[in-house]
Amino acid sequence: MADFNQRLRLRGTNSALLSGDELLAKGGQLTLALQFSNEVSANGLRFDSGVCLFIDGRPMPGFSLDAVRPERVATVEVYGASYGEGSGTLAPRWPRNVPCTETSTGVRGRAANRASAKWVVVWTKPQN
């Protein structure tokens, strides 16, 4: 939680913080819900390449964003590759020489004034 608080304090312009309720209202797949969320769009982020996914603070190489069902999501942090995750807490925790997981949005290319999302941290709701 200390890392989460530090990231929130130091997050850059290419970042977004979303509630699970907002994402749930966007539909059944987390990738598409993130892609079409108002905050992700407003902050100039796009899902056109691989993202490094963390679930409940743990790196999850090889896992798809859609491995987490939107109804299980409490909060999601999204940070762009540039000017997003200013705290530097995520990169050192990602396994060395392990690529990020490709996203399945089908959006490719470089849109003007848009930054690729690189780091996604999903915090799940406690199970009852």
- The alpha carbons of the chain give a radius of gyration, in whole angstroms, of 13
Under the banding of pLDDT at 50, 70 and 90, the label for residue 110 is: very low
pLDDT for 108 equals 46
**Mean of pLDDT values over 50-70:** 89
Q: How confident is the model at residue 120 (pLDDT cuts 50, 70, 90)?
A: very high
Does the pLDDT of residue 48 top 80, yes or no? no
Please, where are the H alpha helices in the chain? 2-10, 20-26, 30-35, 38-42
DSSP strand pairing (15-19 vs 73-80): antiparallel
- Which pLDDT value is given to residue 29? 82
Q: Where are the domains of the chain?
A: 2-99
Q: Would you say residue 113 has pLDDT above 60?
A: no
Give the end-to-end CA distance of the chain in Å, rounded to a whole number: 21
The predicted pLDDT at position 104 comes to 53
What value does the mean pLDDT of the chain take? 80
Q: Between 5 and 50, where is the model more confident? A: 50
Distance in angstroms (rounded) separating the CA atoms of residues 73 and 89: 21
Contact 14, 46 (CB under 8 A): no
From CA 38, how far away is CA 47, in angstroms rounded?
14
Q: How far is it, in rounded angstroms, from Cα 51 to Cα 47? A: 8
Tens digits of residue pLDDT in 13-36: 788 889 888 888 877 788 888 888
